[in-house]
Structure 1
Amino acid sequence: MSENTFDNYQFDDEIKRALALLKYEIPTKVQIEVIPKVFENRDLIVKSQTGSGKTASFGIPICQIIESDCINPQALILTPTRELATQVRDNISDIGRFKRIKTVALYGKEPISQQIEEFEQKIHIIVGTPGRLKDHIERGTFILDEIKYLIIDEADEMLNMGFLKDVEAILTKLPIDRRTMVFSATYPKKVENICRQYMTDPINISIASENILTNKIEQQIIEVNEAGKISMLKDITIVENPDSCIIFCKTKGRVDKVFAELEKSNYSCEKIHGSIKQNDRFSVMEGFKIGNFRYLVATDVAARGIDVNNISLVVNFDIPIEKESYVHRIGRTGRAGKTGKAISFKTPSDGENLKAIEKYIDYEIPVRVPPTTQEIVKMKNLFEKKVRGRRNGI
C-alpha cells in the first residue's frame, strides 16, 4: 500500500458506500491512529484538536462494529453542548446510513416525552449532553445492558462547564465490560482523574496540531489599547467587509458589550454564550449557518459545534489565555478547501499569551498596520451597500 486511503480498510460495503458519498478518501492523522485501536477493542485517551476529523475516527469503526439487528443501544456518546450533539448525530447518521444505523440526540430544553417516544423504535447509538442523558438513565428510558462503547467527546470543555457529577453518575450505571474512549483538545487534571478511575489500561494517542493553519488561514495581529478595541473592530469590518465573521471574546459580559455596540451601529449580528437559553443558542447557530446574519459574537465554549464552511473572517477581540483555544477559534475559517483570515487584537498585557501561542503553532504571526482613514472612507460605501442588501434579503 503506497498510500493510506479508506479503500485500504476492511469495511462493510455499506460503510464504504457511505464514505464514498461523503467524499472521505484520505484518512486524517487522528483517524489513522484511532480506527485500528477501536477494532483492537482498547480504551483510548485521544488528545486532538477540534476539526481534526475525530468524530469520524470513532464514528466509522463503531458503525462498522454495530450489530444492526440488535434492538438496544450499543454506543453512548457524551458531548458538552446541544449543538455538538446534533452535529455528531448527523455525522454518524451519514456514515451509518446504508447500514441503517439509527442514531438519536438527547439534550435539554426539549420535551422529554418526545424523546422517550423515539425509543419505541430500534436505536443503535445515543448522542447527548450529560444532564439529559442522566435524566433518561434514571427514568429507565432505554436498556443499558448492550452498551459496548462509551465516547466522551470534548472532555475538557464538558468538565469546565461543570458536568463532572453528571458524567460520573452515568459512568457508574454502564456495563463494566464496555470500552471507553475520551477525546479532548487538552488534558487537564479533571480529565486525567476521570480516565484513571474509569478506564482499563488505556492507550494514549496525541495528535500534534498541524501547521495547515498558516497555509489556509492568513493570520494577523493588530496592536491596540483596550479602550480602542470597539473602534478598531468597526474599522476592520468596514475594510474587510466579510460575508460571514465570528468575533471571539473572553467572557459573557464582553460578548454582551460588543454585541450591543455592533447592534447600535446597525450591524447584522447575533451573540452566543453560556447564559443564553439553549433553545435560543440553537436558533442562533442555525441562523448563522444559513446566513441570516453576518456577524456572530461568541465565547469559546458557546462556539463549540459551529460547523460552517463559509466563514471568511475570525476576529479575536480578546486573545485567549489557552493556546489551544486560539487554534480552535481560527479553525472556524479556512474550511472546506477555502481560505480565511484571522485577526487578533493585541493589547500591551497580551505579550506573554501571544508568545505562548506562537510557540505552540510554530509561527510568528505578522503585525498588521491598522486601517488608514483613507482605506476606511474608500470601503465604507461598499460596506454599507452590503448591509443594506442583507436587510433587503439580497
Structure 2
Amino acid sequence: MKFADLGLSDELLRAVSEAGYDEPTPIQAGAIPSVLMMRDMIGIAQTGTGKTASFVLPMIDILAHGRARALMPRSLILEPTRELAAQVAENFEKYGKYHKLSMALLIGGVQMGDQVKALERGVDVLIATPGRLMDLFERGKILLTGCNLLVIDEADRMLDMGFIPDIENICTKLPANRQTLLFSATMPPPIKKLADKFLSNPKTIEVARPASTNENIAQFLVKTSERGKRETLRRLIEDERIATAIIFCNRKTTVRELAKSLQRHRYRAGEIHGDMDQSSRIAELDRFKTGDINILVASDVAARGLDIKGVSHVFNFDAPWHPDDYVHRIGRTGRAGAKGRAFTLATPSDDEAIDNIQKLTGSKIEVLGRSEPEGGGAAPAEEERAPRGKRKDERKRAPKRDEAKAKPARDEGRKTAPKPRDDQDGPDDGWNGPMPGFLSVGFGS
C-alpha cells in the first residue's frame, strides 16, 4: 500500500514524499482512512510505529476546510510532556507546509501573554499539556466550544502522570458531537474506562499486542551487583562497540552521577532529566543528534515519543519500576524497521521488577550471565570506592547473624514496587527556556 491509496490530498502527498516516505506503517494504513471518515478511534501501537503521523496527516486535510476564530481552536491535541508536544508541532510543520494552517503550543514555562496573543488570532491546531490548558481555560483566555476534533496522545503516560482527571474535565468542555482519537501503547483498565466514557462507537486499530516489544530489538538481561553496575555497563559499552546509545536511570540524581562517571572515563556522554530547563534539554538532544556526544544518560522523561534516528543500543542501568516503562525505553532503538539491542542490568533486588516486565510482555528476556570480574563482584571504580579508614579487623568483627536477620526485612520491603522519591521524574510540562524556531505560531506559505 502507498500513501496515495489512503485518500490524502495532493498537497499532503507532496509533503510526505519530500519528507522521504512512500509507504505507510501499519498504524498509519489503518488509522488514516478512519480519521478521514470522521470516526472516533482507538489506536493501540507500540512506540516507533509512526503513530504521530497517523493522526497528524488526516488532521491537516480535515482542517484545510474552515476558518479559525479568536480564542476558539478548531482542534486540540493533548500531550503528557513538553517534549512530545514539541515533536508533534514539528510533524505539523513538516507535513503542513503546503497548507495555510495556524498552530499554537500551550505548555508551562512560556510567557502566558504570548500564548494568549496566539489564541486571539485564532488557531486551527492547538497542541497542549493538560495543566497549562486548564490554567488558561480557568482564566477565561480560551473557549473550547468550537473544538470539533480531540486527540488524546500517549494516554497510558497520561495515566502514569496523574492527568486523567484533567482530561476528563477537558472533555466535558468540548462539544458532545466532536471526533475523538485516543492513542496508547497499552490499554490498562482506567484508559479503557476513559475511552468508554468519551468516545462514541470507536474503531479500534491494534498493530501489536498491548505491551509487546519490537521484534527487531534483541533483548538481554545482565546479572550484576549494585557495586559493580558501573563497571558492568562500561564493559558492555566496550564489548558492543556502540554507535549511539541511550542509558536509562530511575532517578535524576543517578542520571547526573552516571553521566559524570562516564565522562571521567572519557566517554562522550551527556544527560537529560526533568531538573534541566528546556533550553538545556534541547541543546543536549541536538548534541546527541549531531554526534557531538554518542551516549545520552536519561531519566524516563526521554522514554516516550522522542524519535531519534540511528540509536543502536539502549541500556537500562536501573530496571524500571513500572513494567510499561520497559517497553517505551527499549523502543528508542529498533525504529522504522532497523535492528536494535537492549540490555538491562539486574541486581538481586530487581527480581520482582524483571518478573513483572516478563509477565507484561509475555516473553522471557535472555540472560547473558554475570558480567563482572571473578571473585564475587566487580571492584568499585575509583569514584565509587568505600571510604578509607575503616579498619580491617572491624570488618571482620561485623556480626554475620545480624546481616542474616536484616536480609528478610529488606526482601519483605521489596514485595511492593518502590515509590518514586523527590528526585524521580514526575509530571513535567514546564518550558523554562527560549522558544525554538520551529514552534512559532503558523506554518505553510
TM-score bracket, shorter-length normalisation: 0.7 to 0.9
How far the C-alpha of 1:151 sits from its partner, in A, is 0.5
The 1:146/1:67 distance shift into structure 2, 3 A limit, reads farther
Structure 2 match to 1:250: 250
Q: CA deviation at 1:336?
A: 5.1
Match of 2:423 in 1: none
Q: Helix, strand or coil: the match of 1:31?
A: helix
What SS does the corresponding residue of 2:366 show, helix, strand or coil? coil
1:345 and 2:345 are equivalent in the alignment: yes
Show the 5 A alignment for 1:1-394: 4-72=1-69, 73-209=73-209, 213-215=214-216, 217-265=217-265, 267-335=267-335, 338-351=338-351, 353-354=353-354, 357=357, 360=361, 362=363, 365=366, 367=368, 370=371
Moved more, 167-176 or 46-55: 167-176
- From the superposition, tell whether residues 193 and 337 of structure 1 become closer, same or farther in structure 2 (CA, over 3 Å): closer
TM-score (norm 2): 0.73
In structure 2, stretches of 5+ residues that fail to align are 375-445
Distance (Å, rounded) in 2 between the aligned partners of 1:262 and 1:125: 42
Question: How high is the sequence identity, in percent, across the aligned residues?
Answer: 39
Moved more, 97-106 or 49-58: 97-106
Against the structure 1 CA distance between its residues 188 and 252, is the aligned structure 2 distance closer, same or farther, given a 3 Å change threshold?
Answer: farther
Runs (4+) of structure 1 exceeding 6 A deviation are: none
What is the alpha-carbon distance in structure 2 between the residues aligned to residue 337 and residue 31 of structure 1?
15
Structure 1 residue identity aligned to 2:368? V
Segments of 5+ residues of structure 1 without an aligned counterpart are: 374-394
Q: Root-mean-square deviation (CA), in Å?
A: 2.9
SS at match of 1:285: helix
Whether the aligned pair in 1 keeps the contact of 2:303 and 2:325 (CA below 8 Å) is no
Deviation at 1:178, TM superposition (A): 0.8
| Code of the aligned partner of 1:116 | V
Q: Deviations over 1:204-257 (max 9, x none)?
A: 333215989444x44333221222112211222344453432111233444344
Equivalent residue letter for 1:328: H
Q: Tell me, what secondary structure is at the counterpart of 1:97?
A: coil
Asked whether the 8 Å contact 1:252–1:299 carries over to 2, the reply is yes
Question: Which one has a bigger Cα radius of gyration?
Answer: 2
Counterpart contact for 1:68–1:124, Cα < 8 Å: no
Shift in alpha-carbon separation, 1:185–1:115, aligned structure 2, 3 A: same
The one of the two structures with greater contact order (alpha-carbon pairs below 8 A, sep at least 6) is 2
CA distance in 1, matches of 2:325, 2:23: 26
8 Å contact from structure 2 (residues 213, 331) kept in 1: no
Comparing 157-166 with 318-327, greater Cα deviation is found at 318-327
Q: How many angstroms apart in 1 are the aligned matches of 2:182 and 2:338?
A: 30
- TM-aligned CA deviation for residue 11 of structure 1: 1.8
How many angstroms does 1:59 deviate by?
1.2
The alpha-carbon deviation at position 104 of structure 1 amounts to 2.5
Amino acid at match of 1:296: L
